[in-house]
Amino acid sequence: MSRFKIANIIAYGFVTLFSIYVLMPILVMVLTTFKSKREIFLEPLGIPSQFGISSFEKALSVGLGSFMLNSFIVSFFAVFLIVTISGMAAYVLSRIDFKINKFVYLLIVAGFAIPPAAVLVPLYTMVSNLNLLNSLFGVIMPLTAFGIPFTVILFYAFFLDFPKEVEEAATIDGCTKLQIFFRIIVPLSGPVIASAAIFQTVWIWNEFLLALIMLTSDDFKTLPIGLLKLRGEWTSDWGAIMAGLTIAVIPVLIVFLIFQKYFVRSLAGLGK
């Protein structure tokens, strides 16, 4: 019996310690936001004596509002395109006996493996030649492309398990595949659409490398690139930097807490 108790204490102790390791930096971020400069230097481990908001004003002065708006626009359009285009392609791959299907699926998997860093120079040259540097459209298009392979794989697994009887009935009634997809499949795919959309939203909201090379003007920067400006502007004013991070991070955390079920499901599906 006592052996079980010791095992139990070790188990709870381990997850508790790990949770503290995870929560501590977030706590430091929020507390530093409210501390005075003096407190930040003299009492790194202390709690702020008052809850001032001057740090927030400094952080917002670098343009966080507009960075956030840009991130919102980029995420919204890219995620919409990714989910629509991937769903359509995955449906064809899972339902229609095309000779090229196997080849297309291999291409998709290859696309999943290729990281943006491996195609950085030609991609930059292409977007530059199209005169799309420093435009949200110019970053939405490649981000959409890089989001498609993973989402196709996610939808493909879902459609394979999807009962075929309804579609067969619809085919007998004379519906084309196009009609079946939009009228029958899409309305019944809520959970997988939610999983895909949430996963891609988080990925695109946080994407750094492509945005870094393509968006150099402040008017078009997305949040991850804009956050670097905090450090440039308020070099050692940690209160302002942490205030900016708090503004950027807390909304994402709230969205995550609301939708975490779908998010965890889409990631867990990767292992299957």
Residues 225-264 that bind another protein (CB under 8 A): 225, 227-228, 230-231, 236, 238, 241-242, 245, 248-249, 252-253, 255-257, 260, 263-264
DSSP, res 215: -
Smallest distance, Å, CB 129 to another protein?
A: 8
Among the listed residues 34, 146, 159, 234, the single contact to another protein using CB under 8 A: 146
| Cβ count near 101 (within 10 Å) | 14
For the chain, give the number of residues: 272
> Does residue number 92 form part of the binding site for another protein (CB under 8 A)?
yes
Q: Among residue numbers 53 through 72, which ones bind another protein (CB under 8 A)? A: none
Among residues 140, 149, 146, which one has the least CA distance to residue 77? 140
Q: How far apart are CA 204 and CA 77, in angstroms?
A: 10
> Does residue number 1 form part of the binding site for another protein (CB under 8 A)?
no
> Does residue number 96 form part of the binding site for another protein (CB under 8 A)?
yes
Smallest distance, Å, CB 72 to another protein?
A: 14
Q: How many residues bind another protein (CB under 8 A)?
A: 98
Q: How far apart are CA 133 and CA 126, in angstroms?
A: 10
Smallest distance, Å, CB 219 to another protein?
A: 19
48 phi/psi in degrees, rounded to 5: -60, 140
- The window from 17-25, 52-60, 158-166, 189-197 that contacts another protein (CB under 8 A) reads 17-25
Smallest distance, Å, CB 116 to another protein?
A: 8
Q: Which residues contact 200 (CB under 8 A, 6 or more apart)?
A: 78, 79, 82, 83, 147, 151
DSSP, res 50: S
Cβ–Cβ under 8 Å, residues 251 and 262 = no
Q: Among residue numbers 151 through 210, which ones bind another protein (CB under 8 A)? A: 152, 176-178, 181, 202, 205-206, 208-209
Among the listed residues 110, 166, 188, 258, the single contact to another protein using CB under 8 A: 110
Q: How far apart are CA 204 and CA 197, in angstroms?
A: 10
> Does residue number 80 form part of the binding site for another protein (CB under 8 A)?
no
